[in-house]
Amino acid sequence: QVQLQESGPGLVKPSETLSLTCTVSGGSLSGYYWSWIRQPPGKGLEWIGYIYYSGSTNYNPSLKSRVTISVDTSKNQFSLNLSSVTAADTAVYYCARGQLLFNFWGQGTLVTVSS
Amino acid sequence: EIVLTQSPGTLSLSPGERATLSCRASQSVSSSFLAWYQQKPGQAPRLLIYGASSRATGIPDRFSGSGSGTDFTLTISRLEPEDFAVYYCQQYGSSPPKTFGQGTKVEIK
A56: Cβ contacts below 8 Å, ≥ 6 apart: none
The DSSP output letter for B61 is: T
At residue A5, the pLDDT reads 98
Tell me if A39 sits within 8 A of A95, measured CB to CB.
no
B67 with B34: CB under 8 angstroms? yes
Instruction: Give percent of chain A with pLDDT exceeding 90.
Output: 97
Block mean pLDDT (10 aa), chain B, length 109: 93 97 93 93 96 96 96 97 97 81 95
Would the CB atoms of B44 and A105 count as touching at under 8 Å?
Answer: yes
| Mean confidence (pLDDT) of chain A | 96
Alpha-carbon gap: A96 to the closest alpha carbon of chain B (Å): 10
β-strand pairing of B71-76 with B19-25: antiparallel
Contacts of A54 (CB under 8 A, 6+ apart): none
With an 8 Å Cβ cutoff, is A61 touching chain B?
Answer: yes
The pLDDT score that the predictor gives to residue A31 is 94
- Contact of A93 with A79, CB cutoff 8 Å: no
